[in-house]
Structure 1
Amino acid sequence: MAETTATATAAAGEEAPFKMVETARQVVKMHPVVLFAILDHFIHRNEGQQRVIGTLLGTRTATGQLVVKNCFPVPHVEQGDEEVAVGKDYLQQMLDLHRQVNSNEEVLGWYATTPGQGVLINQQSCLIQDFYSAECGDPLHVVVDTSLANNVLGVKAFMSETVKLGESVLAASFVQLKVELQASEKERIGLDLMIKASKSRFDQSQQLQDSKQINTEVENLEQSMTRLLTMLENVSAYVDDVVAKRKTPDYKTGSKIASVISMVPRIEPAVFEKSFRSNLQDLLMVVYLSNLTRTQLAVAERIAKTSTV
């Protein structure tokens, strides 16, 4: 694998100092799948490797908003405080493959896990930042704190700025940006399930016992209808308050309500009730057959035990 090596150099052979500036001049949107990919990369890192790095991919809006949607790992080697080797050929091959699938996404910058306890950025980070400057001009740098300090997974984003005096670089400052998660509906459902699963820590016997109490499809349907009715009541109450001038109208909310209503198919009540009852009967038949099968299995098991005795 060919590698590109960057070496830290400065005037008079000294390293240019860097500093971090905590401010929020811009908000970076990030999809949750990016964080999972970074953590998976860190978990499967090579033995003895302190941190991992990779490339961030996404889009830039017309207003300059950065939306990080994807990422992939990049092999690298850090040698002391003055030299970093990055797999440039590997990076280019991965970019070519990714563009065949997502041609609208571009390189936004790079990610890294923390190089040490309580350390977010070090001298090598400046070198890698310079390397990615050739890929995207003004690279975004996302740092994921895998030390889990205070049981918190810290995620911070930075942009670099250089302070020059003539042609000499005096310092490099990393300006911190605000990071917000932007999840699609499918991602949000997956996150909710993962959060619920993390809160439920039972042993295997308890899980087997709980599996027998899984809601039937009829109960799930009832819960869905109850949630739907609750949302309809909330929307109806909001519209009534706006009409009665008890609340200030929100045009975005009104537009969303109108959009949802326009998507509801116009069906005669009698036709809808007939279709609903037909589906309900199908569900009841499935539940009945499931219970009948469970009963037959229990009877067969008892007969088998009796015959062996």
Structure 2
Amino acid sequence: MALNLIVKVHPVVLFQIVDAYERRNADTHRVIGTLLGTVEKGIVEVTNCFCVPHKEYADQVEAELNYAMDLYDLNHRVNAQESIVGWWATGKEVTNHSSVIHEYYARECNNPVHLTLDTTMANTTRMGIKAYVCVQLGVPNGKQGCMFTPVRVQVTSYEPEIVGLQLCAKTQTLPPGQALSKQGGVEPMLDLAQIAEASTKLLTLVDQVLNYVDDVLAGKQIADNQVGRALLDMVHSVPKMSADQFDQMFNSNVKDLLMVVALSQLIKTQLQLNEKLTLLTTL
């Protein structure tokens, strides 16, 4: 049952792990911590995490478990829906001390997940991420053991996180004519500029889909049934309407949007006037 798990990790978790690795002590080679999230229908969704101070020696591991529980209690007061789902560690391999640490988290939750993140990036340009579960091994009435078995891991995100990721990606390759701000960052674009950029990306994706369909029809590329079903669902999701009906619907939505913006500006101005009048009456 545990081998069928799918671990979905949010970008904020990866950022927190990398930040903890960058802030580690000079003599610390590995950083560990607790994973927080939810478990539902074979899917472990990791939405938060925190670092647990520890020291590793040749024959033992020392971790500040009281600090970990206090930090979890404080987080639980703010995010009651998040519970312990496992633990994480930097590095690309499972070490000899991992089983000892995993035993502790096995007492805190059922089937804890062990997540590893290769923050060194020694042999690749991508940051490797893997997830494991511990499977019990042994014979009845004999010596028992465990083995870390890999499970599927995916990086998922909410819509607000996607906006933040896209803004972070622009700090690597800036479009022509756009420069970094004085603080070394990228300023968010205006609403109309975001719509224009999204429309350009949409046109690029449509061209890629059309080229794929043409190549399949011409026999240049092997058809993928999963892609075909996705394209069919996409076509059926588009409402059937003429160009005039689409223009009328679009213009109506734009008018509603402009009305909402105008009303919000009027309310903002009225609140500012009310605030100044109140201040004058109190003087």
TM-score by length of structure 2 reads 0.66
Match for residue 130 of structure 1?
103
- More contact order relative to length (CA 8 Å, sep ≥ 6): 1
Deviation at 1:267, TM superposition (A): 8.1
Match for residue 237 of structure 1?
none
Match for residue 147 of structure 1?
120
Kindly name which structure, 1 or 2, has the bigger radius of gyration based on alpha carbons.
1
Match for residue 196 of structure 1?
170
| Partners of 2:76 and 2:118 in 1: CA distance | 29
Distance 1:131 1:274, change over 3 A: closer
Match for residue 121 of structure 1?
94
Matches within 5 A, 1:88-237: 88-114=65-91, 120-148=93-121, 149-200=123-174, 207=180, 220=193, 223=196
| Partners of 1:70 and 1:28 in 2: CA distance | 13
Runs of 4 or more above 3 Å deviation: 166-171, 206-209, 214-219, 224-231, 247-258, 266-277
Aligned CA-pair RMSD: 4.2
In the TM superposition, what whole-angstrom CA distance separates every residue of 1:54-88 from its partner, at most 9, and x where no partner exists? 00000011x121100000111111121x3111211
Unpaired stretches in structure 1, ≥5 consecutive residues: 1-22, 235-246, 259-265, 281-309
Secondary structure of the equivalent of 1:158? strand
| Partners of 1:194 and 1:31 in 2: CA distance | 15
| Partners of 1:75 and 1:225 in 2: CA distance | 43
Amino acid at match of 1:110: W
Match for residue 221 of structure 2?
none
Distance 1:229 1:274, change over 3 A: farther
Match for residue 25 of structure 2?
46
Contact 2:20-2:31 at 8 Å conserved across structures: yes
TM-score by length of structure 1 reads 0.60
| Partners of 1:155 and 1:100 in 2: CA distance | 29
Unpaired stretches in structure 2, ≥5 consecutive residues: 208-227, 240-247, 263-283
Deviation at 1:172, TM superposition (A): 2.0
Deviation at 1:228, TM superposition (A): 11
Contact 1:162-1:169 at 8 Å conserved across structures: no
| Partners of 1:108 and 1:137 in 2: CA distance | 8
| Partners of 2:64 and 2:189 in 1: CA distance | 53
Secondary structure of the equivalent of 2:152? strand
Q: Between Structure 1 and Structure 2, how many residues are aligned? A: 227
Identity of aligned residues (%): 28
| Partners of 1:35 and 1:274 in 2: CA distance | 40
